[in-house]
Amino acid sequence: MNQTSRLIHIELLEDMINYQIYRIARLLRYKFQHDMRIAGLDMTQEQYFILFQLWQKDGQYQTELADDLFGDTPNITRILDVMQKKGFVTRQPDPKDRRKYRIFLAERGHEVHKLYKIHAPKSRVLDYKKLNDKDLDELKRILKTIENNITDQLHLKLI
């Protein structure tokens, strides 16, 4: 039986790639919450991902963030409402089109970025010990390939 057949005709749950990804995703979410508590932050992964996008490019349209992260405008509106109340972001009407809003980092969002630069590398060193850059690049390549295979089948557009 070749390698591909072994992955398709699964007899044990621990051999199922979907199960392995599910388990690690849950574990990463739990670890994220643990790390946030240690850093003294009350933040969800979704909020963190939005901040990360804004650290890369501040002032994005709300729809850009929704497309890039969730593909779900109502969900991002709710998340941004909470983030605005917590002082992470501000919403400002676009001067060229007042129907659109741009999302900017607020003072607290900048403070979290400083904490990120201190804590995230320490956490990753522990999370990825026994792995090297080549391993992590290969993992990203494999996950991206699976994502592309699935989005192609479902005719979805993901970034």
Q: Are 86 and 42 in contact (CB under 8 A)?
A: yes
Classified by CATH at the fold level, domain 43-118 comes out as: Arc Repressor Mutant, subunit A (1.10.10)
Give pLDDT, residue 72: 66
Name the CA dihedral angle for 85, 88, 90, 91, rounded to a multiple of 10 degrees: -80
Q: Are 120 and 45 in contact (CB under 8 A)?
A: no
pLDDT digits (tens, 9 = 90+) for 15-29: 899 999 999 999 999
pTM of the model: 0.83
Task: Kindly list the strands in the beta sheet with 101-105, ordered across the sheet, starting from the edge strand earlier in the chain.
Answer: 60-61, 101-105, 89-93
The ranges assigned to domains in the chain are 43-118, 128-159
pLDDT digits (tens, 9 = 90+) for 30-67: 999 999 998 889 999 999 999 999 999 999 998 888 87
3-class DSSP assignment, residue 128: coil
Find the radius of gyration of the CA atoms of the chain. 19
